[in-house]
Amino acid sequence: MNAPVEPSVDLAPAQRQGVDSIDTPALVVDLDAMDRNLQRMADFARKHGVRLRPHAKMHKSAELARLQMQAGAVGVCVQKVAEAEALVAGGVMDVLVTNEVIALPKLRRLAALARQVQAKGRIGLCVDSAEGVRRLAAIAAESFSGTPDSLDVYIEIDVGQHRCGVQPGPAAVALAREVLACSGLRLVGLQAYQGGAQHLRSVQARREAIAVAADAVRFTLTSLQQAGIGPLRVTGAGTGSFLLEAASGVWNELQAGSYLFMDADYAENEREPAQPAFEHALFVKTQVVSVTAQHAVCDAGHKSHAIDSGLPSVLPLEPGRDLVYANGGDEHGLLRPAGSNRQLPALGQMLWLIPGHCDPTVNLHNHLIGVRGGLRQGHVERIIRVDARGALT
Ligand SMILES: Cc1ncc(COP(=O)(O)O)c(C=O)c1O
């Protein structure tokens, strides 16, 4: 069980303090930038006639998931049953676990969630093995007492990531037949997520990877159709490639998640010209606590931000005054000047880091501090609980 954490709060105007009051290190969301990202993606999905089901493993917050649904998302994705439990407890009633679940106790928890949301929404799950379907069918038989279509099932196919997923074509058809044979389960779609394409830097490389994935999906849909199965929904895509999936005419549901916060790593991708521009909305606020002749030291190390996708970048103090962050261990970062202006930040200076990877960074914090009006002059508007922090099972 996670330790109880204070719930989200909207601060009354009289309680709102300036950004200067935020103690460091702290994970801060620029709410204005986040709202623009939210709207840009919702508009994109509407314009292209595709459903949007953002991946909530990124922010792990029921409040932000509800916000995405208010803006038009059909529901959200998660990767873990415990994440689904945290979001349903926070009022999010349509959740797809974009993952395989094999342990019977976890499947029982998922079935309990499906019963809980019932008429208000849907719970879904991916499968990629006959054994996985048999286990799911056993739990459905014991949990749904004959009620048909109680849990949504998606066949995951491997479209090039080579992680989970059955082979496209006949193997997917065989699995679909197994799902259809179980009345408690509703066969809804295919999951086709090409995770390996998301961080390919060049537009051309991403286009090639998604073209291969699209062929695999088309082959599978044709095989299903020949077997009299379908039409099925096709869900997948992430922030690096969603424009291509949307344009393919093959995918009809997008799972992108990071667009809401945009980390430093995604900013390295060459952008598709037609893709909406997303802004950095997630920052670690940090303070300079020591200065030497060579560098300044700040109080945010890798207990404050994940470094699996590279070290954070530093928001420039002013145009042309760039700093480079170097690893200083768990609790510290080393800041060195880059470019022509060699001036180090002073002791006590507040700085803003842009994390390399937003998902594991959020998972290090209990709360996100929501700031309105910009990082220099704004105020704290709300404290957003990371409801599914540490929800790993
Ligand atoms: C299955 C699945 N779908 C969608 C996403 C969303 O990707 P992103 O947060 O990069 O937009 C992920 C991320 O890892 C994923 O694993």
Work out the angle between the directed axes of helices 203-226 and 170-180 (0-180°, nearest 10).
Answer: 50
Closest ligand 1 atom to the C-alpha of 256? 11
Closest CA to 58 of 45, 43, 73: 73
Q: Where in the chain is the domain with CATH 3.20.20.10?
A: 93-256
81 by Cβ neighbours in 10 Å (0-12 / 13-18 / 19+) ranks as buried
pLDDT tens readout for residues 101-148:
999 999 999 999 999 998 899 999 999 999 999 999 999 999 998 888
pLDDT of residue 2: 44
pLDDT at 4 over 60: no
DSSP letter (8 states) at residue 157:
B
Percent of the chain with pLDDT over 90: 90
Query: What residues does ligand 1 touch, defined as CB less than 6 Å away?
Result: 55, 58, 77, 98, 193, 195, 198, 238-239, 255-258
Give the pTM. Answer: 0.96
Q: What is the CA radius of gyration of the chain?
A: 22
Going from the C-alpha of 242 to that of each of 196, 259, 351, 372, the distances in angstroms are: 13, 10, 32, 28
Residue that the structure tokens 């931000």 belong to: 305
pLDDT tens readout for residues 252-311:
999 999 999 999 999 999 998 899 999 999 999 999 999 999 999 999 999 999 999 999
Closest CA to 343 of 318, 315, 309: 318
pLDDT of residue 6: 77
C-alpha 97 – ligand 1 centre gap (Å)? 12
* CA atoms of 368 and 285, how far apart (whole Å): 11
pLDDT tens readout for residues 146-197:
888 999 999 999 999 999 999 999 999 999 999 999 989 999 999 999 999 9
pLDDT of residue 259: 98
Please state whether beta strands 151-156 and 122-127 pair in parallel, antiparallel, or not at all (unpaired).
parallel
pLDDT tens readout for residues 335-367:
999 977 889 999 999 999 999 999 999 999 999
Please state whether beta strands 26-30 and 367-372 pair in parallel, antiparallel, or not at all (unpaired).
parallel
Ligand 1 atom 5, closest CA:
238
* CA atoms of 317 and 324, how far apart (whole Å): 12
pLDDT bin (cut points 50, 70, 90) of residue 5 is low
C-alpha 3 – ligand 1 centre gap (Å)? 27
Q: Where in the chain is the domain with CATH 2.40.37.20?
A: 1-30+262-393
Q: What is the CATH number of domain 1-30+262-393?
A: 2.40.37.20
Within 10 Å of residue 169's Cβ, how many Cβ atoms?
Answer: 16
Q: Tell which wins on pLDDT, 341 or 53.
A: 53
pLDDT of residue 354: 98
pLDDT of residue 1: 38
Instruction: Give the CATH number of domain 93-256; options: 3.90.1150.10, 3.40.50.10140, 3.20.20.10, 3.40.1190.20.
Output: 3.20.20.10
pLDDT average, residue stretch 365-387: 97
Q: Which residues lie below 8 Å from residue 302, measured CB to CB, with a gap of 6+?
A: 327, 329, 330
Query: Could you give phi then psi for residue 196, rounded to 5 degrees?
Result: -65, -20
